[in-house]
Amino acid sequence: MKEKIDALREQFSRELSGAGTSEAVEKLRVAYLGKKGSVTALLKGLKEVGAEQKKEMGQHINQLKRQVEEKLSEQVEAIRAAEEQRQVEAAEQYDVTLPTGGAVGSYHPITVVQRQLEEIFASMGFTIEDYKEIVTDYQCFEAVNIPKDHPARDMQDTYYLENGQLLKTHTSAAQNAIMKKYGAPLRAVFPGRCFRNEALDASHENTFFQMEGMMIDKNISISNLIYFMKTMLSEVFERDINVRLRPGFFPFVEPGFELDISCTLCGGEGCSTCKGSGWIELCPCGMIHHNVLRAGGIDPEEYTGFAFGLGLTRLVMMKYGVGDIRDLNSGNLKALSQFTHE
Ligand code: FA5
């Protein structure tokens, strides 16, 4: 019987070296260790062996069984490692400079509209400013006339860092720094990402873009504000858009307005995006409050100015007919690429 065991060990070694795939290794496992396998057959044959040899042969067969099991799992592991190596090498050979075979990237619709707005405002003498996303309580609230216990803070809950700084809730957080940087007169627009702890729906995201604008000079009035808003909207939409101006309260402007546009998704009939009203709140605005000018180092007796906070993400929805704001943050290329070809 000992010869049989040794012969089987050799046969197994030969067959194992030829088993290059996990399927082949599995076949071997069944052929040797399965119910009808060769090693199992040897164990069953033990009952024919005389009592004096039984113990010794039993040990030999069990040793063979262990060897077969170990070698099989080593082989499986070696095949897996070789496959991994092959994949790594294939990835390293991937050449990012090769043509993509037709798939061309494009700008995000928000970037496209932001650039379009920047061009429009630059042509009217505005500078384009960049500002931080993490700001202090002073920049976001106090400097724009929203003291610590003011109820207007309830409308703009946000995400706070342990050091007391916060993710800015509106681009108005940059007003103070820009006034201090340029003084008066000034014309500036400053796009930026804003964050709010919001209940999400078709027109509310927790992360969205606004574009703020300020114009400060001698004798600036509400008619200047209305002129710039109208010019901006007709250039962006390239057609006439129904607009309504109604009183709105913001602590940093006096008087303040809500500028709404007729919902372009339903033509003003009412839908889930405009919550049935037919109007979309797009661009609150107003004449900059004396306290805000003063905090920015500008004398309100000498200068006046207007400010607006355009909902850039909402403008993109209206321009491209996007019914749900969440599509714009989804990263779904199929959804996004249909809006832009630039
Ligand atoms: C403000 O944020 C003011 N800072 C705007 C302002 C600036 C007023 C200067 C006066 C002078 P409001 O919270 O309404 O206001 O937001 C402005 C616009 O941002 C809204 O009209 C809307 O278009 C957009 N917006 C606000 N919250 C969200 C949100 N959660 N998701 C998407 N867009 C939003």
pLDDT digits (tens, 9 = 90+) for 143-180: 999 999 998 888 899 999 999 999 999 999 999 999 99
Mutate to test the pocket of ligand 1, among 208, 273, 293 (most ligand atoms within 8 A of CB): 208
Q: Which residue, among 190, 130, 142, has the nearest Cα to 166 in the 3D structure?
A: 142
Distance CA 42, CA 24 (A): 22
Q: Is 208 helix (H, G, I), strand (E, B) or coil?
A: strand
* 87 shares its domain with 114: no
Q: What is the pTM of this model?
A: 0.72
Tokens standing for residue 275: 């919550």
Is 187:124 a contact under the CB 8 Å cutoff? yes
Q: Residue 97: its pLDDT value, please?
A: 75
Domain end position, chosen among 91, 124, 146: 91
Residue 98 is assigned to a structural domain of this protein: no
* 82 shares its domain with 119: no
Q: Residue 123: its pLDDT value, please?
A: 95
Indicate if ligand 1 lies below 6 Å from the C-beta of 193: no
Q: Which atom of ligand 1 is nearest to the CA of 175?
A: 9
* 202 shares its domain with 305: yes
Indicate if ligand 1 lies below 6 Å from the C-beta of 190: no
Q: Which residue, among 190, 204, 188, 195, has the nearest Cα to 281 in the 3D structure?
A: 204
What confidence tens digit (pLDDT) does each residue in 228-277 have?
A: 998 898 898 888 788 899 999 999 999 999 999 999 889 899 998 898 99
Residue 100 is assigned to a structural domain of this protein: no
* 66 shares its domain with 130: no
For residue 189, report the distance from its CA to the centre of ligand 1, in Å.
15
Rounded to 5°, angle at Cα 103 from 101 and 106? 150
Q: Give, using CA atoms, the residue closest to atom 24 of ligand 1.
A: 311
Q: Residue 30: its pLDDT value, please?
A: 94
Output Rg (C-alpha) for the chain, integer angstroms. Answer: 36
One-letter amino acid at 319 equals K
Distance CA 291, CA 272 (A): 38
Residue 96 is assigned to a structural domain of this protein: no
Residue found by looking up tokens 């294939």 in the block: 90
For residue 235, report the distance from its CA to the centre of ligand 1, in Å.
21
Residue 190 is assigned to a structural domain of this protein: yes
* 282 shares its domain with 193: yes
Q: Residue 301: its pLDDT value, please?
A: 97
Indicate if ligand 1 lies below 6 Å from the C-beta of 286: yes
For residue 250, report the distance from its CA to the centre of ligand 1, in Å.
10
* 152 shares its domain with 196: yes
Indicate if ligand 1 lies below 6 Å from the C-beta of 284: yes
Q: How many domains does the chain have?
A: 2
Indicate if ligand 1 lies below 6 Å from the C-beta of 307: yes
Domain span at residue 188 reads 109-339
Mutate to test the pocket of ligand 1, among 170, 279, 325 (most ligand atoms within 8 A of CB): 170
In this structure, what are the phi and psi dihedrals at residue 170, rounded to the nearest 5 degrees?
A: -155, 155
* 269 shares its domain with 331: yes
Q: Which atom of ligand 1 is nearest to the CA of 283?
A: 21
Distance CA 125, CA 147 (A): 33
CATH number at residue 137: 3.30.930.10
Residue 55 is assigned to a structural domain of this protein: yes
279 strand-pairing partners: 262
Residue 255 is assigned to a structural domain of this protein: yes
Distance CA 262, CA 244 (A): 8
Residue 256 is assigned to a structural domain of this protein: yes
Q: Which atom of ligand 1 is nearest to the CA of 281?
A: 21
Domain end position, chosen among 37, 62, 91: 91
Helices vs strands, H then E, count in the chain: 11, 10
* 153 shares its domain with 266: yes
* 174 shares its domain with 54: no
Is 268:297 a contact under the CB 8 Å cutoff? no
* 60 shares its domain with 121: no
Distance CA 261, CA 281 (A): 7
* 77 shares its domain with 118: no
Instruction: List all residues 6 or more positions away from 156 whose beta carbon is below 8 Å from its beta carbon.
Output: 169, 170, 196
In this structure, the strands spanning 285-288 and 304-311 are antiparallel
Is 113:342 a contact under the CB 8 Å cutoff? no
Domain end position, chosen among 62, 91, 120: 91
* 243 shares its domain with 317: yes
Residue 101 is assigned to a structural domain of this protein: no
List the chain residues with pLDDT less than 70: 91-96, 100-103, 340-342
For residue 261, report the distance from its CA to the centre of ligand 1, in Å.
14
